[in-house]
Amino acid sequence: MSYLLYVAYFGGAVVILLWLRDARIFFRTGLPGYRKAAYHGVLYGALGTFGVLCAIAGNTFELLGLGIILAALYLQGRIGKEKIWKGDESTLVRLLGSAPRRAPDKK
């Protein structure tokens, strides 16, 4: 087992965590950019998981799996999203996606 397998595990986990963060921000704010990112995150999470499975398959497929994971991360980062951060949040707040809640629509 190579050290690249651990890199693949970490990359796959990052893809899933970024998807969950986008979904959390969408549910808290209702912004359409994060809705699109959450929907696309399902596909990119599957692609990242496939990359991890390729890396597990054997030594010849480790680099292919890492390439697939990097492609998933790249595609996930290209989705346009609205700015929700004021600039004074901590890194932990941004990592967890603790965006301020949107006020409910009054009827």
Those residues with Cβ within 8 angstroms of residue 86's Cβ, 6 or more apart along the chain or in another chain? none
Report yes or no: 60 and 4 within 8 Å, Cβ to Cβ: no
Distances (CA, A) of 107 to 82, 104: 26, 9
Structural domain including 34 reads 3-82+89-96
Domain count, the chain: 1
The reply to whether 104 falls in a domain is no
pLDDT digits (tens, 9 = 90+) for 35-83: 999 999 999 999 999 999 999 987 788 999 999 999 999 999 888 888 7
The reply to whether 55 falls in a domain is yes
pTM of the model: 0.79
Q: How far apart are CA 90 and CA 42, in angstroms?
A: 27
